């Protein structure tokens, strides 16, 4: 073979190999979230900032409705082509970790998280001693009320006790105007169960204690009874309570349009309320959860979210994903010492969890709406994270909805809820 031919073959081989070499060096990772398009745009922008110093890593953001998030993670997370990063609710972690869908955090990331986040939040992102995700948000519940409707009803202060809550709800109810005093939620498990659990916690009760359901307690009985009283008095109308797959729907519409006087809702609704109410958002105020007859003080339940990495993704993708997440959650990535993640969260009214982020966003966290949530953070009780937790939530949702629609009495609802919870948690623990 002549030298010319050898040169041509070498050139051809080089040309063929060059794209392969380039492909091998670049890494594509995907980020699955349930955020709205506006928030996804902020995450896209952060990913572009990251790409400036990491040109070989491409981050693609994909959003699905909240109602489809777990299903998408479960159906696609088992494959290496599934989402590399997923934003998950802490209740889902034990089962995702058990099924080896999420990867343990590398030592460096775990060390950073343990030193820079509060211990309670770190434990919610862990199973046993193993950390699986980088925590990002924490959510608590408070009473949201419409100051304008309070004024019209002659109520001067937010209710502090259950009897004041029932009284205010009654005064705020105007059936002829299609107005309800207190809004409950249905058709969305967390939306139904979390306000109930917050009222229960504010009455000195718990959903689960030492891994076993304790819905048969007198405190729980009183909480079921409170629901029945509010429904029977007409102060809460279940037909105004429906939520859809995007956690919006008539329940939100009725509150933003001034047809509901009070709701118990989480801080992350700030962005939905602002976009739904515009200037009228200033009518909304927050107050701690009213305290029940057996409670000592207001207690919200809290839950957190974290970002996890697909355990079935390739080694290079997993490494790039952890590196991106460490950057996204570090004080280097955002404004004024805040992380880019916390800037994104604060745009939705969501409380960040990294200690340095709370400090960096001190001013905004002191706003009239959010300060009501920050104030209940210290006494918040974490929602129980146990195997079978999602099924337990959905089952309790069904029972509470049956109570809302008058299909069950408070006593029967309590008995059903406890019996179902026992069988679900026992089966999941096997």
Partner 1 sequence: MIKNYRASAGIMLAPAVTLIGVFILLPMLLTIWLSFQDWSTQTPFSNASFIGFDNFREVFGPTSVGRHFKRALLNTAIYTALSVMLILPLSVAFGLMVYQRDVAGGTALRAVLFSTYMVPMIAVTLVWSKLYSPSEGPLNQMLGLAGIGPQPWLSSPRSALISIVVLNVWQQIGYFTVLAVAGLTQIPGSLYEAATLDGANRREQFRFITLPLLRRTLLFSAVIAIINAVQVFEPVALITQGGPVGSTNVLTYHIRRVGIERAQGGLGSAMAVMLMLALIVVVCALFAFANRKDDE
3-state helix, strand, coil in the chain (%, to 5): 55, 20, 30
Closest distance between partner 1 and the C-beta of residue 206, in Å? 20
Which one, 66 or 369, has the nearer CB to partner 1? 66
- State which H helix or E strand residue 316 sits in: helix 315-328
Spell out the residues 6+ positions from residue 242 whose beta carbon is closer than 8 angstroms to its own. Answer: 186, 187, 249, 250, 251
Q: Do residues 339 and 135 touch, judged by C-beta distance below 8 A?
A: no
Q: Which of 118, 238, 314, 382 binds partner 1 (CB under 8 A)?
A: 238
Which one, 344 or 403, has the nearer CB to partner 1? 403
Residue 135, SS3 per DSSP? strand
Residue 239, SS3 per DSSP? helix
Give the x/- contact pattern for partner 1 in 41-70, rule: CB under 8 A. --------------------------xx-x
Closest distance between partner 1 and the C-beta of residue 238, in Å? 7
State yes or no: residue 216 binds partner 1 (CB under 8 A). Answer: no
Distance CA 40, CA 347 (A): 11
Q: Answer positive or negative: Cα dihedral of 56, 65, 352, 100.
A: negative
Which one, 228 or 244, has the nearer CB to partner 1? 244
Q: Do residues 186 and 243 touch, judged by C-beta distance below 8 A?
A: yes
Which one, 240 or 410, has the nearer CB to partner 1? 240
Please count the residues of this chain forming the interface with partner 1, following the rule CB under 8 A.
43
Q: Which of 253, 277, 285, 314 binds partner 1 (CB under 8 A)?
A: 253
State yes or no: residue 182 binds partner 1 (CB under 8 A). Answer: no
State yes or no: residue 313 binds partner 1 (CB under 8 A). Answer: no
Binding region for partner 1 (CB under 8 A) out of 98-106, 165-173, 204-212, 377-385: 98-106
Which one, 23 or 405, has the nearer CB to partner 1? 405
Closest distance between partner 1 and the C-beta of residue 245, in Å? 6
Spell out the residues 6+ positions from residue 347 whose beta carbon is closer than 8 angstroms to its own. Answer: 38, 39, 42, 271
Burial class (CB in 10 A: 0-12, 13-18, 19+), 107: exposed
State yes or no: residue 304 binds partner 1 (CB under 8 A). Answer: no
State yes or no: residue 234 binds partner 1 (CB under 8 A). Answer: no
State yes or no: residue 90 binds partner 1 (CB under 8 A). Answer: no
State yes or no: residue 123 binds partner 1 (CB under 8 A). Answer: no
Spell out the residues 6+ positions from residue 407 whose beta carbon is closer than 8 angstroms to its own. Answer: none
Q: Which of 30, 39, 187, 414 binds partner 1 (CB under 8 A)?
A: 187
Q: Which of 217, 390, 414, 418 binds partner 1 (CB under 8 A)?
A: 390
State yes or no: residue 79 binds partner 1 (CB under 8 A). Answer: no
Helix axes 410-429, 389-404, angle to 10 degrees: 170
Spell out the residues 6+ positions from residue 29 whose beta carbon is closer than 8 angstroms to its own. Answer: 57, 58, 59, 60, 84, 85, 313, 317, 320, 321, 324
Closest distance between partner 1 and the C-beta of residue 427, in Å? 8
Q: Centre a 10 Å sphere on the Cβ of residue 140 and count the other Cβ atoms it contains.
A: 27
Q: Which of 136, 146, 180, 186 binds partner 1 (CB under 8 A)?
A: 186
Rg (CA), the chain: 24
Torsion of CA 192, 193, 194, 200, to 10 degrees: 120
Closest distance between partner 1 and the C-beta of residue 132, in Å? 15
Binding footprint of partner 1 on the chain (CB under 8 A): 67-68, 70-71, 74-75, 77-78, 95, 99-101, 178, 186-188, 238-245, 250, 253-254, 257, 259, 390-391, 394-395, 398, 401-402, 404-405, 407, 419-420, 423-424
């Amino acid at each position: 073979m002549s030298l010319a031919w050898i040169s041509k073959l070498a050139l051809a081989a080089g040309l063929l190999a060059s794209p392969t070499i380039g492909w091998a060096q670049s890494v594509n990772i995907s980020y699955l979230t349930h955020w709205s398009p506006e928030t996804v745009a902020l995450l896209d922008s952060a990913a572009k900032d990251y790409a400036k110093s990491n040109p070989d890593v491409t981050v693609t953001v994909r959003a699905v409705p909240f109602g489809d998030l777990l299903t998408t993670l479960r159906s696609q997370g088992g494959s290496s082509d599934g989402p590399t990063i997923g934003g998950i609710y802490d209740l889902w972690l034990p089962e995702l970790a058990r099924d080896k869908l999420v990867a343990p955090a590398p030592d460096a990331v775990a060390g950073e998280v343990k030193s820079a986040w509060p211990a309670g939040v770190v434990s919610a992102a862990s199973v046993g001693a193993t950390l699986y995700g980088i925590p990002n948000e924490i959510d608590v519940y408070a009473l949201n009320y419409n100051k304008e409707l309070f004024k019209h009803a002659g109520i001067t202060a937010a209710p502090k006790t259950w009897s004041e809550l029932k009284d205010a709800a009654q005064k705020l109810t105007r059936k002829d105007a299609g107005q309800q005093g207190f809004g409950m939620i249905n058709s969305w498990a967390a939306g139904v169960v979390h306000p109930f659990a917050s009222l229960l916690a504010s009455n000195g009760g718990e959903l689960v204690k030492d891994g076993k359901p304790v819905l048969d307690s007198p405190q729980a009985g009183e909480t079921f009874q409170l629901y029945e009283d509010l429904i029977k008095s007409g102060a809460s109308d279940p037909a105004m309570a429906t939520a859809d797959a995007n956690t919006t729907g008539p329940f939100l519409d009725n509150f933003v349009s001034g047809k509901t006087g009070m709701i118990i809702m989480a801080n992350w609704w700030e962005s939905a309320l602002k976009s739904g109410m515009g200037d009228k958002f200033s009518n909304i105020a927050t107050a701690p959860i009213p305290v029940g007859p057996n409670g000592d003080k207001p207690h919200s339940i809290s839950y957190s979210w974290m970002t996890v990495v697909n355990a079935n993704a390739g080694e290079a993708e997993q490494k790039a994903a952890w590196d991106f997440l460490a950057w996204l959650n570090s004080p280097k990535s955002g404004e004024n010492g805040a992380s880019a993640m916390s800037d994104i969260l604060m745009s939705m009214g969501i409380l960040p969890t990294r200690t340095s982020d709370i400090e960096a966003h001190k001013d905004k966290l002191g706003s009239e709406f959010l300060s009501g949530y920050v104030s209940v953070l210290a006494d918040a009780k974490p929602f129980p994270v146990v195997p079978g937790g999602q099924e337990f939530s959905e089952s309790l949702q069904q029972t509470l909805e049956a109570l809302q629609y008058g299909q069950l009495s408070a006593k029967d609802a309590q008995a059903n809820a406890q019996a179902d919870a026992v069988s679900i948690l026992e089966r999941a623990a096997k």
